[in-house]
Amino acid sequence: MGIGLLAKIGGGRERMKNEVFNQIANTIVEGDPSATVEGVRQALEMGWEPLDIINQGLVVGMNIISEQYSNGECFLPNLVIAARCMERSMQVLEPELKKRQQEVKSAGRVVIGTVQGDIHEIGKSLVGTMLAVNGFQVYDLGVNVSPEAFIAKIRETGAQLLGMSALLTTTMTVQREVIRQLEAEGMRDHIRVMVGGAPVTASWADEIGADGYAEDAVGAVGLAQRLMGLGG
């Protein structure tokens, strides 16, 4: 077989790969989890590497929807559905990554949770999903998390970031309490603290000594990347 024919065949396969990955990205933007998973399975059947499917398909789609959300071109439900596309796809891809002894490069370890006395879940969970999509290793403690539980998990995981959510004015003071405990335990210099939630503001973050405030899940990703020196 001549070199020219080999190149043509190779070029055709590369075009097909790009088309499939673009389709995967588009299904995320369109908010169709079943179609995303189908595209991922098709890409695996065609022999393409899980990491390529993630980086050239799924992440591209999430970046597009995140940018649209930031520009006001789509809304929170669109972001939630896109995150669901990613989660379901990763359930398919993770066993394949393990088979190949591959792993997604970690952007950093982050502990997140809704503070003690507060049981609001949705915003915090979306932040966790978006951080995971962007390569962070996320330890989600759930809701009603005590300062002691945050401290213990940071110690256990060696986390570099802490994200605390509070949706009530009566519970946001717990964010300050956690930071004070980090200081008392001599841990504050080793971890960056992000805060968020409906009543939380940038001035509140400054007042309690947090490293940053994010208004929404997309903002939380950018903040986390900046705090980790990733240029997000």
Q: How confident is the model at residue 10 (pLDDT cuts 50, 70, 90)?
A: low
- What integer best gives the mean pLDDT of the chain? 90
Q: Are 61 and 53 in contact (CB under 8 A)?
A: no
Distance linking the first and last C-alpha atoms of the chain = 47
**Tokens 């802490």, residue located:** 162
Q: Are 212 and 205 in contact (CB under 8 A)?
A: yes
**DSSP bridge partners of 113:** 164
Q: What percent of the chain has pLDDT over 70?
A: 94
**Tokens 């001599």, residue located:** 186
> Which of 144, 193, 138 has its CA nearest to residue 166?
144
Q: What pLDDT does 196 receive?
A: 96
Determine the average pLDDT of the residues in 184-190: 96
- pLDDT tens digit sequence for 11-25: 678 889 999 999 999
- Residue 226 has, within 13 A of its CA and on its CB side, a CA count of 12
Q: What pLDDT does 137 receive?
A: 93
Determine the average pLDDT of the residues in 43-59: 92
Report pTM: 0.77
Which domains occur in the chain, in start order? 3-99 (1.10.1240.10), 108-227 (3.40.50.280)
**What are 78-83's contacts with CB under 8 Å, separation 24+?**
78/31, 79/126, 79/130, 79/217, 79/218, 80/122, 80/126, 81/31, 81/33, 82/28, 82/29, 82/31, 83/126, 83/129, 83/130, 83/133
Instruction: Return the structure tokens found at 195.
Output: 């805060």
Q: What percent of the chain has pLDDT over 90?
A: 72
- pLDDT tens digit sequence for 120-164: 988 898 899 889 888 899 999 999 999 999 999 999 999 999 999
217 pLDDT above the threshold of 80:
yes
CA 126 to chain centre: 8
Q: What pLDDT does 1 receive?
A: 42
> Which of 161, 1, 131 has its CA nearest to residue 66?
131
Q: What pLDDT does 94 receive?
A: 87
Q: Is 97 exposed, middle or buried (0-12, 13-18, 19+ CB in 10 A)?
A: middle
Determine the average pLDDT of the residues in 204-213: 98
103 pLDDT above the threshold of 80:
no
